[in-house]
A and B are shown apart, each in its own frame.
Chain A
Amino acid sequence: MKITRQQVENVAVLARLELSAAETETFTGQMDAILAYVDKLNELDTTGIVPTSHAVPMENAFRADEVRPSIGVENALANAPGRMEEFFRVPKVIE
């Protein structure tokens, strides 16, 4: 096994997902298969090869520190499922 049930449960907690027992079972099997497939890459000898972090060989894309117009509160909130005056509305956050 490449992944345990407990690891799947942990990832679900991190992603704020509630999984039923059956779903956990299904996803554990599916993720295990995916990981086993990707694991094939480990057969390659990558000694001395720098890990690739970016697919495009490019560096240093900058912008100048110049203010550009924002899109406005109404546009910003247009797609929000809920608003409270000029704020996005979200379920209460416990500190």
Chain B
Amino acid sequence: MKYQPVIGLEVHVQLATDTKIFCGCSTKFGASPNSQTCPVCLGLPGALPVLNKKVVEYAIKAGLATDCAIAPRSVFARKNYFYPDLPKGYQISQYELPICEHGHLDIEVDGVGKRIGITRIHMEEDAGKLVHADTPGTGDDSGVDLNRACTPLLEIVSEPDLRSADEAVAYLKKLHQIVVYLGITDGNMEEGSFRCDANVSVMPVGSDTFGTRAEIKNVNSFKFVKQAIEYEIERQIELIEEGGKVVQETRLFDPNNGETRSMRGKEEAHDYRYFPDPDLVPLVISDDWVEDTRLGLPELPAVKLARYQDELGLPLYDAEVLTATRELAEYYEACLAAGAPAKLAANWVMGEVTRGLNDAGLAITACPVAPGQLASLIALIDKGTISNKIAKTVFDEMWQNGGEPAEIVEKKGLVQVSDTGEIEKIIDEIMAANMGQVEEYRGGKEKVFGFFVGQVMRASKGKANPAVVNDLLVAKLKR
């Protein structure tokens, strides 16, 4: 029998606010354990949570960018369970009335477009972190660090619209790109700022009843998501083929062997007894607030992608590369603002700039060559002052030692020689010194032409205008 996988994703996005969602403690990553805590995030009796307004703004942005409806009224709820990383015994989340609902995201896999529904986006607090120390004398005990407790998260829940691991990855990449563009998260997957739970089930092809699903928890890389889902689909199909039944359970992905395994024991407790949190008053969002936020949204990647093709005339490939991250797109756009022609600038940003960054292990925001410098360099090529080849030398010089391209060209005497008299002199000398090759060429061996071009370029230290060299050589050799 053929099986159809069905996948829904829950993504947790850690918001890039300075403080926690319900208290003023810093959210900075990497501080010493429990140094960023207060009565609210420690869950001390009597402490009252107060909502961080920025979290709401970020949630509205995420909702608008995924075409959700923003709820005029939403409520925080307590999700009750006991675990040592959750000091209050409940997590403050949203349940019946989340801030955003009914959105969607358009993805593309192998050239085929598809719309994936977004069920809801809600705000919640993160839990603390458990460490399993091997300090001698502590026996089997665990340590709890509550710095992360109360850190603001958005949970973005998709409809079960995904039908393959590749679609799931495409959806995740798209969503990641959007939330990073919005500037509401650093998107750092290794530090857990963007992590994913995958609900996976299989059903016979043609069926309209979903199978029993397993939930794979906390996968934090695109590669692992693909591996985990593919493994889980295989596992469920094999199980069914052998006459077994998939049980609804939570599973953990082990990156070491690429398998998922059951987290037995946690499942029975899945009765969260949600109820509205009386400590937090209802959240009312006016139309004005939503519209103001909409006006403040940056140009989103899908819009940028279309604009780069339609208005700038770039090929799809260039547009995709340049809009991959907001930072790269901003660098590119700064080059255009400084007067660089669209396609030439695209070639340089995707070529020399990207290569230089990769070699040096730098982010585009730390690029040693500023957009303005690059635009000036491109202008010199455009005017014919320097050749492309010389431009690369100038670029390397700027990268290493800074400076303005025009000054570098002048100081190093790199101006392109287009003066026919000067080039003719060089050609004459080279032909005189290589009469053998001249005879060969005139005897019909046209391949020797390249030899002459090379010699002339070398003699001129790369400064001769290649087009002029070509024309003159043809004329002189043919004679």
* Interface positions of A (Cβ within 8 A of B): 10, 13-16, 53-56, 58-68, 70-73, 76-77, 79, 82, 84-95
| Inter-chain contact B130/A93, CB cutoff 8 Å | yes
Please list the 5 inter-chain residue pairs (A to B) with the smallest Cβ-Cβ separation, ordered nearest first.
A87-B143, A68-B24, A53-B276, A65-B54, A62-B53
Closest to B286 in A: A60
CB of B263 within 8 A of chain A?
yes
Contacts of A82 in B (CB 8 A): 141
Contacts of B130 in A (CB 8 A): 90, 93
- Nearest opposing residue in chain A for B252, CB measure: A95
The answer on a CB contact under 8 Å between A13 and B263 is no
Contact A61 B281 (CB under 8 A): yes
Are A95 and B51 CB-contacts (below 8 A) given A61-B281, A68-B24, A70-B26?
no
User: Count of A-B contacts with CB under 8 A?
Assistant: 145
On whether the beta carbons of B141 and A90 are closer than 8 Å, the reply is yes
Residues of B within 8 A of A86 (CB): 32-35, 145
Given A61-B50, A90-B84; A66-B24 close (CB under 8 Å): yes
A73 and B35 contact, Cβ closer than 8 Å, known pairs A54-B276, A60-B281, A88-B144 = yes
What's the minimum C-beta distance from A17 to chain B, rounded to whole angstroms?
10
Residue from A54, A64, A71, A88 in contact with B278 in the complex, judged by beta carbons closer than 8 Å: A54
Query: For residue A60, which residues in chain B have a CB less than 8 angstroms away from its CB?
Result: 281-284
**In the bound complex, what is the Cα–Cα distance between A91 and B24 (angstroms)?**
30
Known: A65-B54, A89-B138, A91-B142. A15 touches B82 (CB 8 A): yes
Chain B residue nearest to A71 (CB atoms) is: B38
> Is B19's CB within 8 Å of the partner chain A?
yes
Instruction: Give Cα A82–Cα B253 distance, bound, in whole angstroms.
Output: 32
**Interchain CB contact under 8 A, B142 and A63:** no
Q: Which of B8-31 contact A (CB under 8 A)?
A: 17-19, 23-26
Residues of B near any A CB (own CB < 8 A): 17-19, 23-26, 32-39, 42, 44, 50-56, 73, 75, 80-84, 130-133, 135, 138-146, 252, 263, 265, 268-269, 271, 273, 276, 278, 280-284
Listed by A's residue number, 9 A-B pairs whose Cβ atoms lie within 8 Å are A10-B271, A61-B51, A62-B51, A65-B19, A71-B39, A88-B143, A89-B141, A89-B143, A91-B84
**Interfacial chain B residues near A90, Cβ < 8 Å:** 84, 130, 141-144
Flag if B52 contacts A65 (CB, 8 Å).
yes
Q: Which of B25, B82, B271 contacts A16 (CB 8 A)?
A: B82
- Majority-rule SS of B interface residues: loop
Give complex CA distance A27, B212 in Å.
36
A91 engages B141 (CB within 8 Å): yes
Query: Do A70 and B146 touch (CB < 8 A)?
Result: no
Contact B54 A84 (CB under 8 A): no
CA distance A94 to B263 in the complex (A): 10
CB distance from B94 to the nearest CB of A (A): 12
A95 contacts B263, CB within 8 Å? yes
Question: Are B75 and A71 touching (Cβ within 8 A)?
Answer: no
In whole angstroms, what is the CA distance A89 to B141 when docked?
Answer: 7
Q: Find the residue from A13, A63, A89 having the highest chain B CB count within 10 A.
A: A63
Closest to B131 in A: A87
Are A85 and B82 in touch, CB under 8 angstroms?
no
Once bound together, how far apart are the Cα atoms of A12 and B256, in whole Å?
A: 37
Nearest residue in A to B271 (C-beta to C-beta)? A14
Cα A80 to Cα B34 with chains together (Å): 12
A67 near B276 (CB under 8 angstroms)?
no
- Given known contacts A65-B18, A87-B143, A92-B132, A56 and B53 CB-to-CB distance under 8 angstroms: no
Given A59-B73, A86-B145, A87-B144, 4 new contacts (CB under 8 A): A16-B82, A65-B17, A71-B39, A91-B84
Cα distance A10–B280 in the bound complex, in angstroms? 29
B19 touches A67 (CB 8 A): yes
**Which residue of chain B lies nearest to A77 when distances are taken between CB atoms in the complex?**
B34
Complex contact A70–B53 (CB within 8 A): no
In whole angstroms, how far apart are the Cα atoms of A22 and B378 in the complex?
86
**B84 lies within 8 A of A93 (CB):** yes
Minimal beta-carbon separation of B268 from chain A (angstroms): 7
Most chain B C-beta atoms within 10 Å of own C-beta, residue among A60, A66, A77: A60
B25 engages A54 (CB within 8 Å) = no
Question: When the two chains form their complex, are residues B142 and A66 in contact, meaning their CB atoms are under 8 A apart?
Answer: no
- Given A59-B283, A88-B144: A73 in contact with B33 (beta carbons within 8 A): yes
Partner of A85, one of B33, B38, B132, B263: B33
Nearest to B135 among chain A residues (CB) is A84
A55→B19 contact, CB < 8 A: no
Check A92–B142 contact: CB distance below 8 A: yes
Q: Are B276 and A87 in contact (CB under 8 A)?
A: no
Residues of B within 8 A of A15 (CB): 82
The reply to whether A70 and B52 form a contact with Cβ atoms under 8 Å apart is no
Find chain A residues with CB under 8 A from B51 CB.
61-63
B residues in contact with A10, CB < 8 Å: 271
Residue of A nearest to B50 (CB): A63
A contact residues around B276 at 8 Å (CB): 53-54
Q: For residue B81, which residues in chain A have a CB less than 8 angstroms away from its CB? A: 14
Q: Would you call A87 and B34 a contact (CB within 8 A)?
A: yes
Given contacts A59-B284, A62-B56, contact A76 B75 (CB under 8 A): no
By a CB distance below 8 angstroms, the chain A residues around B42 are 76
- On chain B, the residues within 8 Å of A76 by CB distance are 34-35, 37, 42, 146
- The distance in angstroms between the C-alpha atoms of A71 and B297, with both chains bound, is 36
